[in-house]
């Protein structure tokens, strides 16, 4: 088991480069199943979620080659069965994209319900509603979803909830369906646009991604392609917030500043200087942090995946801030951990009230999920003394080389192995 040890108090200076977007990669890699040739995917983040989805594809028969540390070549043609078992998929939430991709290719998908970050109930009713509208029937039994259709046929689908996952899955199922599919109230996240661009580069006809109406005209054949994944909006935001929390002057490279607008706006409201360049943002923070209120919303609103990191930042700001988590029913499990460092945060349902404190003090904590784990790192960077973070496998699911990237901008952070008798060895 790995553990991170952080000694807080260092200001952060220098440059950090952002990897490819996790949430685009975990949609685009399964989407390659739809191709009748080899897909070369570049700027793939080197993270555990990608390792897992690549392994699942291999186990299903695909040839998946790592050409270099950020490029995968996938030949999906040897996959002959539309079945992904529980043993294969249980480790990651986004393996539900196999449903749409297998359905699109085989008109059938038998996929076990996935694992992943636990924010309470994570329904897939909108995914299934979409598949049904395309003419598929489904059966949910023993934790396995079996979806099948004689012929998928385009239709109008109105999503009752703006769902990234349902939008992706319907796109995957519809690209080879007969006729026109229209998704209304679709998610608009940057990774939805990236997936549409990837599918179009294979020969699909997807229009309107990035707006709330996506139109997909089915095609009979999709080719292999070469495609480069967009930079990770949330990884970039995490380093921006870390620089703001610890203070200093950090330039975050390989970003699309437009994707960071809501994050930039909140940092500026808190008194942080953010300079935008073509493919970089520079964060400078010398003075005090102001309180602010945040409501998470689907894109282009403030991203829920930045909520824990901002809660940490607000916990050392002057005054009382309110965070309203409107996307997930329960995404505050990490608050108990943050309180161990001295933060004053009270939670009532979807609302967190944060009374800024003068300082946090290091303590042992655990990463309750991916972004909560990133938030614990930020808390450790500003806390007096030493913070020990356990269960960091959650963090390594989604952040490439996070220890090394933070070390390079001056953070005192290291990874240790912890053996069962709890002796640990630094590496
Ligand atoms: C994606 O999850 C992301 N994961 C999540 O990021 C992110 O928090 C979330 O979108 C919201 O932005 C990936 O892209 C792999 P949703 P997803 O379907 O697709 C409700 C991270 O940290 N809903 O947009 O599972 C649902 O309960 C991860 O990188 C239904 O009611 O999220 C939630 O309240 C964690 N019915 C809301 O919609 C459905 O059928 C948004 O969920 C589907 C969803």
- Minimum CA distance residue for ligand 1 atom 30: 123
Query: Closest Cα partner for 370 from 414, 333, 316, 322?
Result: 333
Dihedral pair phi/psi, residue 263, rounded to 5°? -70, -45
The 10s digit of each residue's pLDDT in 405-425 is: 999 999 999 999 888 665 554
Exposed, middle or buried by CB within 10 Å (0-12, 13-18, 19+), for 301? middle
- Cβ of 26 less than 6 Å from ligand 1: yes
Domain 2-19+231-426 has CATH 3.65.10.10: yes
> Domain residues of the chain, as ranges?
2-19+231-426, 22-228
- Cβ of 117 less than 6 Å from ligand 1: yes
| Of 330 and 408, the one with more pLDDT | 408
- Cβ of 125 less than 6 Å from ligand 1: yes
**Active-site residue among 24, 98, 110, 117?**
117
- Cβ of 371 less than 6 Å from ligand 1: yes
- Cβ of 143 less than 6 Å from ligand 1: no
CATH topology agreement for domains 2-19+231-426 and 22-228:
yes
Distance in Å, CA 401 to ligand 1 centroid: 25
The 10s digit of each residue's pLDDT in 221-253 is: 999 999 999 999 999 999 999 999 999 999 999
Share of the chain above pLDDT 70, in %: 96
CATH for the stretch 22-228: 3.65.10.10
The 10s digit of each residue's pLDDT in 72-111 is: 999 999 999 999 888 778 777 668 899 999 999 999 999 9
Does residue 426 surpass a pLDDT of 60? no
Share of the chain above pLDDT 90, in %: 89
pLDDT at site 141: 86
292 catalytically annotated = no
Distance in Å, CA 119 to ligand 1 centroid: 10
Which of 23, 115, 329 has the most ligand 1 atoms within 8 A of CB, as the residue to mutate?
23
Distance in Å, CA 386 to ligand 1 centroid: 34
**188 is written with which tokens?**
């608009």
Which of 163, 189, 212, 308 has the most ligand 1 atoms within 8 A of CB, as the residue to mutate?
163
Least confident of 123-127, 300-304, 352-356: 123-127
pLDDT at site 22: 97
Q: What is the mean pLDDT of residues 125-139?
A: 96
Q: What is the pTM (predicted TM-score) of this model?
A: 0.96
| Nearest atom in ligand 1 to 369's CA | 22
| 118 in Cβ contact with 369 (< 8 Å) | yes
Distance in Å, CA 146 to ligand 1 centroid: 21
Does residue 163 surpass a pLDDT of 90? yes
pLDDT at site 153: 98
Does residue 427 surpass a pLDDT of 60? no
The 10s digit of each residue's pLDDT in 176-204 is: 999 999 999 999 999 999 999 999 999 99
């Amino acid at each position: 088991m790995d553990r991170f040890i952080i000694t807080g108090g260092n200001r952060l200076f220098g440059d950090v480069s952002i990897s490819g977007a996790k949430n685009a990669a975990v949609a685009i890699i399964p989407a390659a199943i739809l191709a009748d040739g080899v897909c070369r995917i570049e700027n793939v983040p080197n993270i555990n979620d990608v390792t897992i989805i690549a392994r699942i594809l291999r186990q299903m028969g695909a040839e998946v080659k790592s050409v270099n540390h950020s490029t995968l070549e996938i030949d999906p043609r040897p996959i002959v069965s539309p079945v992904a078992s529980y043993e294969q998929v249980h480790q990651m939430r986004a393996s539900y994209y196999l449903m749409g991709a297998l359905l699109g290719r085989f008109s059938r998908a038998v996929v076990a319900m996935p694992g992943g970050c636990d924010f309470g109930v994570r329904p897939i009713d909108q995914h299934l509603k979409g598949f049904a509208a395309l003419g598929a029937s489904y059966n949910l039994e023993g934790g396995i979803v079996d979806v099948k259709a004689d012929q998928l046929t385009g239709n109008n689908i109105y999503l009752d909830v703006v769902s990234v996952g349902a939008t992706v899955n319907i796109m995957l199922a519809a690209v080879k369906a007969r006729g026109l599919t229209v998704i209304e109230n679709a998610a608009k996240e940057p990774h939805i646009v990236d997936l549409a661009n990837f599918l179009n580069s294979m020969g699909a006809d997807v229009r309107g991604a990035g707006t709330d109406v996506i139109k997909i005209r089915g095609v009979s054949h999709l080719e292999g392609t070469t495609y480069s994944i967009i930079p990770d909006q949330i990884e970039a935001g995490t380093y921006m917030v870390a620089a703001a929390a610890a203070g200093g002057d950090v330039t975050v490279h390989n970003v699309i500043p437009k994707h960071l607008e809501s994050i930039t706006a909140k940092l500026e409201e808190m008194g942080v200087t953010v300079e935008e360049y073509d493919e970089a943002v520079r964060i400078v923070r010398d003075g005090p942090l102001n309180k602010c209120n945040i409501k998470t919303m689907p894109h282009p609103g403030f991203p829920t995946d930045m909520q824990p990191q901002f809660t940490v930042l607000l916990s050392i700001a002057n005054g009382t801030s309110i965070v309203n988590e409107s996307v997930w029913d329960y995404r505050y499990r990490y608050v108990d951990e943050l309180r161990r460092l001295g933060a004053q945060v009270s939670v009532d349902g979807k609302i967190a009230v944060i009374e800024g404190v003068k300082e946090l003090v290091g303590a042992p904590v655990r990463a309750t999920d991916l972004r909560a784990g990133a938030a614990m790192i930020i808390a450790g960077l500003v806390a007096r003394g030493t913070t020990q973070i356990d269960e960091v496998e959650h963090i390594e699911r989604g952040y490439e080389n996070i220890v090394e990237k933070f070390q390079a901008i001056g953070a005192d952070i290291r990874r240790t192995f912890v053996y069962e008798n709890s002796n640990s060895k630094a590496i």
